[in-house]
Structure 1
Amino acid sequence: MMRQRLTEDRMTRRNQLHRCLIGLSVTLLFAFLQATPPAPLALMENKLLDMRFLLRGAVPANDDVVIVTIDEKSIQSIGRWSWDRNVFAELLYTLTDAEPSVITFDVIFSEPSALDQELAQAIDYAGNVLLPVVFDFGGDLGRHGAGEQLDDFALRQVSHPERFREYRPITADSALLPRPELADMSMGLGHINMQPDRDGILRWELMLIAHDDRLLPSLTLLTAAMHKGVALDQIIVDAGKGISMADTFIQTDHFGRMLIPYYCPSGTFPHYSVADVLNGDIPPEKLANKVVLIGATAVGIYDLRVTPFSAAMPGVEKHASVIGGILENKLLTQAPLWIETLLLVCSGLLLTLLLRRTGAIPSLMLTVTFSIGITILAILTFLKGQTWINLSAPLLNCASIYTAIMAYSFRVEERSSRYIKHLFSSYVTERVVHELIHHPEMARLGGARREVSVLFSDIKGFTSFSEKHSPQEVVTLLNEYLSAMTEIIFRWEGTLDKFVGDEIMVFWGAPMPQPDHAERAVRCALEMRKRLEEMQQEWRERGVEPLDAGIGVNSGKVLVGNIGAEGKKMDYTIIGDHVNLGARVEALTRNYTTPILVTEHTVAALRGNHTEQTVPAYTLQEVDRVTVKGRNEAVKIFTVAGVTEA
């Protein structure tokens, strides 16, 4: 029994080890996928990032940034787009009088115009104008070899140059530049290229673009630097880490991109129509010492972008969010990969340890709890710490660990169910088999001591009966008898151990616990006897010599389990002194005039199951006190004539 119990424990430990190995394997897989995310995983994470933006909602806009808009009102007042350069010249003169800190155009002046010189003079007069550049990647949008014109506006300060070979900024082939006379009068040129993710949503700002071995800053970076009074040569690029600018550090990835710190949906930053500015309707103090962005918001100009907040945000408002975030130093950062990996591995391993010994429903609850906890952590980190922690990989890891471990468990349980059904279907009723499949621990196949009642039944004089009748007659009559007895046994939910020729061995109390095992055994014996008497009458009417049988019942602790030659033949049975006593008592029915004998142990079990007010009044009569073979101690035996309800 000890060896069988150790075998069960070893199987349990092995299943738990397999669960742990499954969870570890899944976790390592997702740690790799998190480091090199495939497109579906990256898309899922982007959507979860958008969710965090939406949960955060709008935040107050930076007061230092205003937008002068080319809107429908301006187009109706000035004329259809695009406007002559003298309109922008007049706008610059008006804005300059309000003394903004920097004026940034989100308008490309790449085509020649007879009024270029007039605009150039206005730019020179303002002395704080920045103009945009558009780079092309693989096409021929602008001029090749434009590096010389851009050379004065390139970033030259690079820290840790040894890491620069691992830096992979977006590289452009050509550039669409403003007219030379306009560029020469400006304070700087910065690119306005945008690179939406695969789902079309703009989440990243290209802070740097490489062109002709130069690093060109974005227009937003130049604007923020100019407002803060930081010169171009004071902007330091830390390859693969970020950009330092005075007291501000801007985290970038290996592509030179910064996560855009969107403030809100469209319209949060102050908007002033170009028409209102030209008409003098905007008080100068609303523009003084401000960053003034000039860009289009009119739908017909088609400078609209899809963002986490909006399906149609004007590009100039995106610029405002980037500049405002830099000026307020309220930038979003991405957690280092080692922190994300630590979160994923720790949560995955802890969940695995918890799931190694739990069932499907508790495991599901644990997995959901872990997922909710990780989600809350990621959301709070984003809302309170402005840090983006990868959420998709840990969530999928938890779900996959649960799915993989449960799939393994179902496979093991299915195999166990088939084994239990194969083992017990011939011993017990279908209902008991069903219960054992759902509660396999009841079977204790490895061996256990149980309190049971065992019934033996044997046909009297069967050997002589067999000699007087043909084999066909013997088999037919025996099958008829055994079928009738088996039906009664199963009705009382007994475990049919075996048929040994004409002998029947049945027990109650295993594999399923049955506290009333003694009562079931005695009632079954009485019903078997009653049915046998009915069959004897039927046989006489048919002219067949009737069979008669003795029944013995005993109760006590026995060893129950799957016993036999492992790998060859195993039977679920019981063994022990009380089993032998039950067989000896059945044999004693040949020496007494009663067909049913039960031991004092069964009588004690009958009385112990009920109070005097509820116990059925069995007609018990002590027959003798006998000493059977194999036992030194005498035991009382009783006959049971019937039962009457008290």
Structure 2
Amino acid sequence: MSKKNWLQTIAAGLVLMLFSTFLYTANKLYFIEGPLQDSMRNTKSITERQPDDRIKIIKIDDKSLKEIGKFPWDRSVYAAAIEKLENAGVAAIGLDVVMAEPSKNSDDDKKLADVLAAYDNIIMPVQINYPAKQLEAGQLIPERIDYPSPNLTTDKQRMAHVNVFVDKDGKARKLPVGLPDENNNMILAFSAALINLVLPEEEQVRWDDVSEQWMRGSKVIPTSGKHQVATEFYSVPRQEIDANTGYETISFVDVLNKDIPFPEGTIALIGPYVTGMLDEYPTPVSSVKMFGIEIHANMIQTLLENKFYKESGKAASIAIIFIISLLSIFLFERFKGRIATFVFLGFLVLYALLWFSLYFFVSILTPLIYPVFAMVTIYIWSIVSHYLAERKERGRVTGIFGRFVAKSVVDELLQSGEDVKLGGSRKDITLIFVDIRGFTPMSEKLEPEQVIQVLNEYLDVCTKAIFKFNGTLDKFMGDGVMAMFGAPIEFDNHPEMAVRSAIEMKGQADILEQKLIRDYGIGVKFGLGINSGPAVVGNIGSEGLRLDYTAIGDTVNLSARLESNAKPGQILISEHTYARVKDIFRIEPVGEIKVKGKEKPVMVYEVMGEL
């Protein structure tokens, strides 16, 4: 490849690389990236998705609403349910029902307040409300925070936010471990506050003011700018428990009316489990929305297992895009055609394996679609650039080869895709030999520059006539021309095309002769010989250096002998050609003539013109 083409390729590749980087930094392909990463991550086995049997969902469901009554319920109902759970030995209780306003019945509030004061393992919900748009990107300045009513509790150590954030495509993939309040103090997430009730102090979730990082014990929780960490999903929405999957769900009314045993260390979540209560979100694990209480259950297990998947940083992600792009530029320029396709597919599979390896073995989520987008666009560009280069080269070859054969012949040869090889094959063809009569006397009278000009004009007449009828220009021989018809592309009517070409030459030569007489006072004519028959046609010469596409054999020799016997302006043809065109042209017999190389005289005819 030329230096210019290399520079063009590198420039185009760099532009595509920078464009892919822009798409990544602007997160323009989130609607593809998110679902792709979801499909990659949702490959856990049933064993890997084993739910923690300590997590129980106490659901406010249709059954409970039917027996207890319409929502909202009296707060004494929650007090009674919490008492039953405490008596059953539940380690932590989370109530995901916002109670920001005092009850109309103060006694109702007091019953729940007494229960909350009696036990230190109950987490109440805080709802943080944000404006539709922050002043700056990434800000988390609350517009209003709905704390539990002071009539119930004022202990902020027993409060946690229940906010669920969704990505740009509307799906909840991450949960904020904590969020800043109006004084920029951190409010723990509902899930984080609950696991802190069952973990030793040295393993609990906390915010480190010095490093400004969220910690789970001594391990950093890899949160995003909005304090979010990727949630691992161990259940699908509204999944009933079976032998292997799903968190156990218990109707709220059953907790009130039955004595249900719970395993040691149970974390009980109380929350809405009906669509009408508007606490459900799309997630990557199902097309069915997941209730908020289910999302919190999955987040609790994510935090308990202390296995977090960290997204590669922006710098590392851009570096990946750059490396993939540069390798793509090199590989797709080096390899072409089918090999390039295999290289592309192999490269694609290799990156997918790398992505999986980083995900499963070192818990890092790298960009998926953006490096692939760079790879695909550079591959497509390489195909286009190679195609354009081949078209350019094809045009160059066509231009060169087109000086020897007709354009239609060139196109057909190129479309065949056959290589040019040393050797030949036997073909039935027609040969024309043309010579300028009177050229030597003319060259003695004219200046050399004028001779060359006249010769070129005559040879141009011959060439155009040959190409007009799909002939192949074999060679120029001084002031003569050799051409063949029927090779390399076979035509059944090659004798007819050869004769028509000869008639065209004769007619154009007559016009040119008048011009020469007018300019120089001298004119010349053509003598033409035509013969048809078998000949060996192919490439002769040096395969490594130069090849000459030509025809050899007795058919060729006889055509040359006929030309040497032709008078000025005469078209002589052999009996072999005559037999094939006698019904197409006006032809008169000349008689038998003795030619060199033949023991017996040969019958010769003269073409007079069209019928």
Q: Same fold (TM over 0.5)?
A: yes
- Judged with a 3 Å threshold, the aligned counterparts in structure 2 of structure 1 residues 436 and 528 are, in CA distance, closer, same or farther, namely closer
1:277 corresponding residue in structure 2: 255
Superposed displacement of residue 197, structure 1: 1.4
Corresponding residue number in structure 1 for 2:384:
407
Does residue 457 of the first structure (1) align with residue 433 of the second (2)? yes
Give the conservation status (yes or no) of the 8 Å contact 2:434–2:482.
no
Are the equivalent residues in 1 in contact too, given 2:216–2:306 (CA < 8 A)?
Answer: no
Task: Check the 8 A contact 1:86/1:119 in 2, yes or no.
Answer: yes
- Separation of aligned partners in 2, 1:366 and 1:558: 33
Shift in alpha-carbon separation, 1:342–1:237, aligned structure 2, 3 A? same
State which of 372, 375, 379 in structure 2 corresponds to 1:398.
Answer: 375
1:93 alignment partner in structure 2:
83
Q: What whole-Å deviation, never above 9, does each CA across 1:309-338 have from its counterpart, x for those lacking one?
A: 133111011001111111111322223444
Alignment check: 8 A CA contact 2:435 2:563 kept: no
Compute the displacement of 1:215 (Å).
2.3
Change (3 A) 1:387 1:241: farther
Residue pair 2:422, 2:540 contacting (<8 A) in 1 also = no
2:172 to 202, 206, 215: 202
What is the alpha-carbon distance in structure 2 between the residues aligned to residue 357 and residue 55 of structure 1? 36
Look up the SS of the partner of 1:184 in the other structure.
Answer: coil
Q: Closer, same or farther in 2 for the Cα pair 1:249/1:99, shift >3 Å?
A: farther
Tell me the SS of whatever aligns to 1:190: strand
In the alignment, what sits opposite 1:486? 466
Q: Give the drift of 1:230.
A: 2.9
Q: Deviations over 1:47-80 (max 9, x none)?
A: 2122124333661112221111111111112111
1:29-428 paired onto structure 2 within 5 Å: 29-34=19-24, 36-38=25-27, 40-56=28-44, 59-113=49-103, 114=105, 115-138=108-131, 170-184=140-154, 187-210=157-180, 211-230=182-201, 235-237=206-208, 242-266=213-237, 267=239, 268-283=246-261, 285-286=262-263, 288-310=264-286, 311-383=288-360, 385-428=362-405
Cα offsets for 1:161-189 (capped at 9, x unmatched): xxxxx995622132111111323367421
SS of residue in 1 equivalent to 2:187: strand
> For residues 275 and 86 of structure 1, what CA distance do their matches in structure 2 show?
13
State the shift of 1:592 in Å.
8.6
Deviations 1:11-42 (A, max 9, x none): 545434533443344234424543x133x322
Give the corresponding residue for 1:511.
none
Q: Distance in 2 between matches of 1:190 and 1:239?
A: 22
> Compared with structure 1, are the counterparts of its residues 592 and 529 closer, same or farther at alpha carbon in structure 2 (3 Å cutoff)?
farther
> CA deviation digits over 1:78-106, x for unaligned, max 9?
11111100100101110111122211111
Root-mean-square deviation over aligned CA pairs: 5.1
Q: Report matched runs for 1:467-486 at 5 Å.
A: 482=462, 486=466
Letter in structure 2 aligned against 1:54 = N
Q: Alpha-carbon deviation of 1:451?
A: 8.1
User: In structure 2, how many angstroms separate the alpha carbons of the residues matched to 1:238 and 1:456?
Assistant: 97
- The match for 1:630 is none
SS in 2 for 1:306: strand
Q: Residues 173, 548 of structure 1: CA spacing in aligned structure 2 closer, same or farther, 3 A cutoff?
A: closer
Distance 1:239 1:57 in 2: 39
Name the SS for the 1:258 alignment partner. Answer: strand
CA contact (8 A) 1:261 1:330 kept: no
Distance (Å, rounded) in 1 between the aligned partners of 2:2 and 2:139: 54
Deviations 1:368-403 (A, max 9, x none): 332233224324543555432210111101111012
1:318–1:559 Cα change, 3 Å = closer
* CA distance in structure 1 between the partners assigned to 2:179 and 2:332 by the alignment: 49
How far did residue 298 of structure 1 move?
1.7
Partners in 1 of 2:3 and 2:349 — Cα distance? 30
Aligned partner of 1:27: which letter? M
1:22/1:405 contact within 8 Å kept: no
Q: Deviation at 1:137?
A: 1.4
* TM-score (norm: length of structure 2): 0.70
Q: What is the alpha-carbon distance in structure 2 between the residues aligned to residue 398 and residue 65 of structure 1?
A: 44
CA contact (8 A) 1:240 1:252 kept: no
2:154 match: secondary structure: helix
- Specify every segment of 5 or more residues in structure 2 that has no aligned partner in the other structure, as ranges: 240-245, 426-430, 443-457, 508-524, 552-556, 568-593, 602-611
The 10-residue stretch of structure 1 (364-373 or 122-131) with the greater mean CA deviation from structure 2:
364-373
CA distance, structure 2, for counterparts of residue 438 and residue 241 of structure 1: 68
Code of the aligned partner of 2:200? G
Question: Which SS does the other structure have where 2:285 is aligned?
Answer: coil
Measure how far apart 1:367 and its partner are: 2.0
TM-score by length of 1: 0.66
Q: Which one is further off, 166-175 or 70-79?
A: 166-175
- In structure 2, do the counterparts of structure 1 residues 388 and 639 end up closer, same or farther at CA, with 3 Å as the change threshold? farther
Counterpart Cα distance in 1 of 2:204 and 2:292: 28
3-state SS of paired residue (1:252): coil
Q: What do residues 485-526 of structure 1 show as CA deviations (whole Å, max 9, x unaligned)?
A: 8379946xx3455698x7324599xxxxx9x99xx99x99x9
SS state of the match for residue 312, structure 1?
strand
Instruction: For 1:12 and 1:55, locate their aligned partners in 2 and report how far apart those are by CA, in whole Å.
Output: 47
Percent identity, aligned pairs only, is 21
3-state DSSP class of the match of 2:52?
Answer: coil
Separation (CA, whole Å) in 2 of partners of 1:250 and 1:437: 64
Give the paired residue count: 514
| Distance in 2 between residues matched to 1:139 and 1:19, nearest whole Å | 46
8 Å CA contact retained: 1:295, 1:316: yes
What CA distance in whole angstroms lies between the structure 1 residues aligned with 2:497 and 2:141?
Answer: 97
- Find the aligned partners of 2:476 and 2:32 in 1 and give their Cα distance: 61
Separation (CA, whole Å) in 2 of partners of 1:246 and 1:371: 39
TM-superposed CA distance for 1:436, in Å, is 6.0
Q: Name structure 1 gaps, 5 residues minimum.
A: 1-10, 141-165, 444-448, 467-477, 509-513, 540-544, 562-572, 580-584, 596-620, 624-637
Partner of 2:51, secondary structure, is coil
Equivalence map 1:435-454=2 (5 Å): 437=414
| Cα 1:622/1:241, change in 2 over 3 Å | farther
2-structure distance, mates of 1:274, 1:591? 112
SS at match of 1:123: helix
Give secondary structure in 2 for the equivalent of 1:459: strand
**Over residues 83-137 of structure 1, what are the superposed CA-to-partner deviations in whole Å (9 max), with x where a residue is unaligned?**
1001001011101111222111111111211211110101122221111111121
Shift of 1:273: 1.2
Kept in 2, the 8 Å contact 1:272–1:282? The answer is no
On the 8 A contact 2:165/2:176 being kept in 1, the answer is yes
Deviations along 1:584-635, whole A, 9 cap, x unmatched? x99996999899xxxxxxxxxxxxxxxxxxxxxxxxx997xxxxxxxxxxxx
Aligned to 1:18: 8
**CA drift at 1:240:** 8.4
Q: What secondary structure is seen at the aligned counterpart in 2 of 1:277?
A: helix
Contact 1:130-1:188 at 8 Å conserved across structures: yes
CA displacement 1:206-262 (0-9 Å, x = unmatched): 222223232222222211222213389972337887411324432101221111112
